[in-house]
């Protein structure tokens, strides 16, 4: 039985839409997202739209995650399955794409305090497709460009391979993706 499921993927991969679907389809599910709405999470959300150091962003993400992880643990203890839209893999994939911080460092620093997910689903999508999907957003993050997202995608695929994540073909129609995720999670939740 999975108490903690994480959805990972580049911007525009469909993970947020599928997360909402999971919440509707399964009883006893609580969905959460990173960055959070905490005071630190609000700083994170602001920093992704500013020209800031990858280390500044990293430590904001980590501070937000420490607080968030405690909330996840509490929610699981109350009997819920937590579905998290982004977790430690996002920080590793995105911050390593800056090419200033090594992926192994990002993995190591987070493994010391995170809660290990029971299931991690990586929504795999071509960068051009993802950018088309998010083209209507009013405010773009500094990460939403082709070259950067290609590096993020490569990092995600390496993480999936190293940690045994389930890779979901998110190029498919959203209903097909939802169906695939449902078939994976129906025996887990």
Residue 167 sits at φ, ψ, to 5 deg, of -95, 125
Residue 91 sits at φ, ψ, to 5 deg, of -60, -45
Task: Decide: 122 and 133 in contact? Cβ < 8 Å.
Answer: no
State the CATH number of the domain containing residue 52. 3.40.50.300
Place of tokens 């679907």: 21
Domain count along the chain: 1
Task: Decide: 18 and 123 in contact? Cβ < 8 Å.
Answer: yes
134-172 pLDDT per residue, tens: 877 665 666 778 898 999 999 999 999 999 999 999 999
Task: Supply the mean pLDDT for the chain.
Answer: 92
Q: What's the predicted TM-score (pTM) here?
A: 0.93
pLDDT for 165 equals 98
Domain holding 38, by residue range, is: 4-185
Place of tokens 């599928």: 18
Residue 123 sits at φ, ψ, to 5 deg, of -85, 105
pLDDT tier at 1, thresholds 50, 70, 90: confident
The single-letter DSSP state of residue 117 is P
41-95 pLDDT per residue, tens: 999 888 877 888 889 999 999 999 999 999 999 999 999 999 999 999 999 999 9
């Amino acid at each position: 039985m999975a108490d903690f499921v994480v959805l990972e993927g580049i911007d525009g991969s469909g993970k947020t839409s599928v997360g909402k679907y999971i919440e509707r389809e399964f009883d006893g599910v609580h969905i959460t997202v990173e960055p959070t709405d905490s005071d630190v999470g609000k700083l994170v959300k602001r920093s992704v739209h500013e020209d800031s150091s990858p280390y500044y962003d990293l430590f904001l993400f980590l501070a937000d995650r420490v607080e968030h992880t405690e909330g996840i643990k509490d929610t699981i203890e109350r009997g819920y399955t937590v579905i998290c839209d982004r977790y430690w893999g996002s920080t590793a994939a995105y911050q390593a794409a800056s090419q200033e911080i090594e992926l192994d460092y990002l993995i190591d620093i987070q493994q010391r305090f995170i809660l290990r997910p029971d299931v991690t689903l990586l929504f795999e999508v071509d960068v051009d497709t993802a950018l088309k999907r998010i083209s209507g957003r009013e405010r773009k993050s500094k990460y939403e460009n082709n070259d950067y997202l290609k590096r993020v995608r490569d990092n995600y695929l390496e993480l999936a391979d190293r940690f045994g994540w389930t890779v979901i073909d998110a190029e498919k129609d959203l209903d097909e993706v939802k169906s695939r995720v449902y078939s994976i999670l129906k025996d887990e939740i």
